[in-house]
Amino acid sequence: MAVSSKKITKAIIPVAGWGTRRLPITKVIEKSMLPVGNRPLVDYSVQELIKAGVRDIYMVVSNVEPCQVRAFYQDNLALNRYLVDRGKFDKLEKAKTLPEDVKIHYVAQDPSSKYGTAVPVAMVVEEFNINEPVLVFMGDDFIWNPGGESAAEALMAAVKSPDESALFAIDHPYEALLNGGALTIEDEKVAKITEKPKPEQITGLTSVSKYVLSPRLLQEIVEYVHENDFGPLDQEYMITDPFASYIAKGGVMRVARTDGEYLDGGTVEGWVHANDVVCKK
C-alpha cells in the first residue's frame, strides 16, 4: 500500500545560493524568483506540494537580505490596503500567495559555507528535529503536468511504506540535464546513481532532484554532512552520496514518473522554454 499524501505533510525546498549560472540577472533577482508566466519559478513547486497535502514547507534561503522569496510569501499590507481602498477585491485574492493552513519555515544558509545538495536537507532535519518522511524539491525547476498527476503525487504513490524513499525520473533527458544523475534501475528500484554524468553515460532514466526521503535516509544525509569536511574547492556535499550509502545498506529507493514535462529555469534556454510552455497552456 502506498504512503498516503495525508501522511507526508512536510517538504524541504532549498533556494539558497548565488545562482551564478544566471548572472548578471541574479545580482538583483534570486534565481528561484525568476518569473515563469506570472509566477516565480519556486511557486510552481510550492503550489504543487500544497495541492498534494503538504502543510509545512521548510525553505533554506540565503542569509543575504532582503530575501525576495520570504517577501513573496508574506502579506504585503500596504498593497492590500491599496487594493481594498479601490475595491479591487479580485486582485486582492491574487496577491495572497499562501493558504491560511500552510506555513513556510525559513532556515538561513551562508552561501559561503558548506556547499552541495545534501547540506540544506541536513540543516532542516537538525533544526526542526524531523523524524518522518518528507518531500524534497529544488527551487528552480518543476514538472509541468496541468490536469494530470503531479511529481509530488507520483512520488508518494511510489513508496510502499514510511521506511522507503523515492526519486523522480524522466525518460528522455536532454543536454540541459547533464548536471542530473543517470540512473541504473532494477525492479523499479534505484541500484546506482551516476552524478553529473558524461553525455555518453546518459542512456536511460535521469534523476531530476525531486524526492521522498525516509527518516532513515534523512539521518544518513545528516551523518554524511557531519562526517566529511570538504573545502570550498573540494568535492560538493552531493545528496546522492548518502543515497548510495543508504542503498548499499539495504535501503529501498523507488522510481516515480509521470507524463508531465520537466521545466528548468537554471539556464537561459531552459527558462525561455519554460515560459513558452506555461504561457501557451
Looking at the structure of the chain, the number of domains it has is 1
HSE of 203, CA atoms in CB hemisphere, 13 A: 4
Looking at residue 203, its pLDDT comes to 59
Looking at residue 204, its pLDDT comes to 67
Q: In this structure, what CATH number is given to the domain that contains residue 135?
A: 3.90.550.10
Q: Which domain holds residue 129?
A: 5-279
Looking at residue 36, its pLDDT comes to 97
Looking at residue 209, its pLDDT comes to 87
All cell numbers assigned to 22: 544566471
pTM of the predicted structure, to 2 decimals: 0.92
- For residue 6, count other CB atoms closer than 10 A to its CB: 8
Q: How far is CA 137 from the centre of its chain?
A: 2
Among residues 92, 239, 228, 230, the alpha carbon closest in space to that of 167 is found at: 239
* Tens digits of pLDDT across the chain (281 residues): 455 445 899 999 999 988 888 999 999 999 999 999 999 999 999 999 999 999 999 999 999 888 999 999 999 999 999 999 999 999 999 999 999 999 999 999 987 788 899 999 999 999 999 999 999 999 999 999 998 899 999 999 999 999 999 999 887 555 545 455 677 777 888 877 776 666 665 556 788 889 999 999 999 999 999 999 887 777 889 999 999 999 999 999 999 988 889 999 988 999 999 999 999 86
